Structure 1
Amino acid sequence: MRLPRLGLGCMNLSHAYGVPPSEDEGLAVLRAALDGGVTHLDTATLYGGGRNEQLVGLAIAGRRDEVVLASKCGMAQVDGVKVIDARPDTVRHQVDASLKRLGVDHIDLYYLHRWDKKVPVGESVAALAEAVDAGKIGAIGLSEVSV
Structure 2
Amino acid sequence: MKLWIFGLCAFFLVLPSCADGSGGDKFYVAAPSELADEFPSVFEQVLEDSGLRVEAGSASSDSGYTLHAIQGRGRRVRVWGQNVPLSAREAEACDLGDEARPAPNRFLVSVEPRSPLGGKQRAAELAIWLADEISAAGFTTSADYVGCTSR
- TM-score with structure 1 setting the length: 0.28
Q: Which has the higher strand share?
A: 2
- TM-score with structure 2 setting the length: 0.27
**Structure with max Cα Rg:** 2
